[in-house]
Amino acid sequence: MRRRIITVPLLSAGVVAATLAVATPAQAHGYVSSPPSRQALCAQNKVPDCGQIKYEPQSVEGPKGLRSCHAGLAQFAVLNDDSRNWPATSVGSTVTFTWINTARHATSNWEYWIGNTRVAVVDGGGRQPDATVSHTVNLGGFSGRQKLLAVWNIADTANAFYSCVDLQIGGGGGNPTPSPTPTTPAPSPTVSPTSSPAPGGTWTAGRAYQVGDQVTYNGLTYRCRQAHTALPGWEPPNVPALWLQI
Amino acid sequence: MVLLTATGCAGPPESPTAPATPSGAAAETTASGIDVLFLSMMVAHTEQTLQIVRLGLDRTADPEIRTLIAAIEVTEADELSTMRGWLRDAGPSAMAAAARHDHSGHSDAAAGLARLRAAPAGEVDRVLLDVLGAHQRTAAKLADAQLSAGTSARVRELARRVEQSRTAEVALMAKLGTAPPSGP
């Protein structure tokens, strides 16, 4: 096991953490968004009366080696209160955890703990992670309601980020999403104009449009304002900079 | 290529409102901490995108790349003002939280911008596509995570569009990157 102890002051004298111009090591922030960690549930307003954590789920940071849910921070103590009604996400024996990293500091590793058992460790190689990171963890050996502690150990500070996730392990396999993910079909014409079709016809992703081209989309007619190749997500009603409804 | 400036009749770039969910359409006007976090990150990220594409417009002569990044510029400028408006709607605590995020990810974009500024003329297109591609891939991933974590319907709808458009841009840039170079 690599042991590299680097002591970095979190706040240098005279530097305020909120100052934009100066970088502080406390920039590294992250939390488990899926299945939702306790701080995510607070930030989603799914658990009431959480206090400050609901505005900064990514800030549960403390020294490495803690086993609490709140990194020992008094203002986030609610996260460590097991008597709160934390909803548990139903999962099978393998679970994919997703971290959202609001700043991407070099990573030693990620650890996943249930009680005193480390169920998974993922090496970070001292590298910066992506903006989101997902790990599939096998929880075999555990069942029923469990509190899992996910830890992001930072490589270049003495700190780590902590996310407790309440799970109901058992039943079907896999990782059902706690709330339905909206699935929208790719744009397709729902209305054909009864008069002669506008030049260009119905809006189609992947087609290159020039200024002045006209298309219909969901029964409305648009004129192209700026040349571009149409992309999903750039449907005419969504991008008034590119399409003018006429 | 003619650039038309936005006129008043274009209206705010709001998507069609998602149908009210059983949990209440009140979610439309109340952004949760998760939504605010996403909006803050996307505001910072989008500001960086605009810096990258504007520098790209200064440096690249390739007509297909110029068309793409000019479209990215105008669409993301609109998204930026939408997101800033939603953060304002979310109230002073949200705005304070957002202000704490202005530094996030800056180092990544700063490095990319520096590479782009320093790239010799024959390398500009390759570096631009590389830097912008990586940047938009990040946006797609953030938006994708938001789709399962967010609560506000309108923020989720924006995240859906971000995920789709950035993913498509990355694919388009990959194709442009393999086209025979059209250098000056």
Contact B31, A55 (CB under 8 A): no
Domain with A48 in it: 27-169
DSSP state of A74: G
The yes or no reply on domain B30-178 and CATH 1.20.120.1200 is no
Q: Which of A152, A169, A186 is the last residue of a domain?
A: A169
**Cα A115 from Cα A184, distance rounded (Å):** 40
Which residue of A40, A55, A234 is in closest CB contact with B165? Answer: A234
* A202 part of a folded domain: no
Q: How many C-beta neighbours within 10 Å does residue A128 have? A: 17
Q: Is B32 on the interface with A (CB under 8 A)?
A: yes
Interface test with chain A among B7, B15, B37, B162, by most A beta carbons within 10 Å = B37
Could you tell me if A66 and A147 lie in one domain? yes
Which phi and psi angles does A113 have, rounded to 5°? -120, 140
CB A60 within 8 A of CB A74: no
Residues A39 and A137 in one domain: yes
Domain assignment present for residue A35? The answer is yes
Say what the ipTM of the complex is.
Answer: 0.80
Predicted confidence (pLDDT) per residue in B71-115, tens digit: 999 999 999 999 999 999 988 887 787 777 655 555 578 899 999
Backbone φ, ψ for residue B122 (5° rounding): -70, -10
Q: Is residue A66 part of a domain?
A: yes
Q: Which of B9, B34, B47 best tests the A interface by mutation, with the highest count of A CBs <10 A?
A: B34
Map out the domains of chain B as residue ranges: 30-178
B29 compared with B86, residue with greater pLDDT:
B86
- Span A97-115, mean pLDDT? 91
Residue B91: CA atoms inside 13 Å, Cβ hemisphere, count?
Answer: 8
Split into its structural domains, chain A has a count of: 2
Q: A81 in a domain, yes or no?
A: yes
Residue with tokens 């999403």: A177
Long-range contacts made by residues A118-125, C-beta under 8 angstroms, separation at least 24?
Answer: A119/A148, A124/A153, A124/A155
Q: How many CB atoms lie within 10 A of CB A152?
A: 28
0.80 cut: is pTM over it?
A: no
Q: Which residues pair with A165 in a beta bridge?
A: A148
Contact A110, A153 (CB under 8 A): yes
- Residues A149-168 have pLDDT tens digits of 999 999 999 999 999 999 99
**Averaging pLDDT over each range in A44-53, A108-117, B158-167, which range is the top one?**
B158-167
